[in-house]
Amino acid sequence: VEFLYCDLASMKSIRQFVQQFRAKNCPLHVLVNNAGVMLVPEKKTEDGFEEHFGLNYLGHFLLTNLLLDTLKQSGTHSHNARIVTVSSATHYVGKLHLNDLQSRCSYSPHGAYAQSKLALVLFTYRLQHLLTANGSHVTANVVDPGVVNTELYKHVFWVVKVVKWMTAWLFFKTPEEGASTTIYAAVSPEMEGAGGCYLYNEERTKSADVAYDEELQRRLWTESCKMVGISDEASRLP
């Protein structure tokens, strides 16, 4: 196992990481987008993005797009390269504010987190549409890991922390259990060639209705390209 440093909250760090990875001339068969913060106090990334949106969503959006060529070259007809993005059931209550993606008007940690997770689902569906339209041997799926006992909850209210400490053994998944659906999406033969799926407990399920809004998917994609500074070649596709 070899590690390369990448800070998903920094567009510069992401670009440097991709440059280092490409220099190795390695194939890329699986990309798992799993970094994230939850319910953090209002804060900006070094690029000026609201932290939930910048790290949870835009960082993965840029990383995936910069690695797409390598993924396309690595996938074959019988063994597609796979992109697995980790979202959350919180996306069901999320609202995408295209006119205020940075939550400048009124900041809510819960609202910002839910928006970032909804954005990941919209992004995955649009990405799969574009991959299919281009005839690429790459699939993109999105995963809900469930409620997992990790340090992600360190910013919740202290009462919630106490309840979590008392009940985690009963209601929370272990990190290993939480990773099972992501691993299933990444390596299971059953998922070969299958893209555009929302997975929970290793089964395909329905995401929020708004996530299937193709116009919203397109508008978010175009706006995301502007924000991270990449060309929106996809805007010319249906």
113 catalytic? Reply is yes
Contacts of 151 (CB under 8 A, 6+ apart): none
C-beta neighbour count of 113 within 10 angstroms: 24
| Residue 219 CB burial class (10 angstroms; 0-12, 13-18, ≥19) | middle
Task: Please measure the distance between the N-terminal and C-terminal CA atoms of the chain and give it in whole angstroms.
Answer: 40
- Other Cβ atoms less than 10 A from the Cβ of 37: the count is 20
- CB proximity list for 70: less than 8 A, separation 6 or greater: 21, 22, 27, 28
Strands 30-33 and 81-86: parallel
Selecting among 113, 125, 184, 198, the annotated active-site residue is 113
Residues 6 or more apart whose Cβ sits within 8 Å of residue 157: none
Q: Do 55 and 113 meet the contact criterion of CB atoms below 8 Å apart?
A: no
Catalytic positions, written as ranges:
113
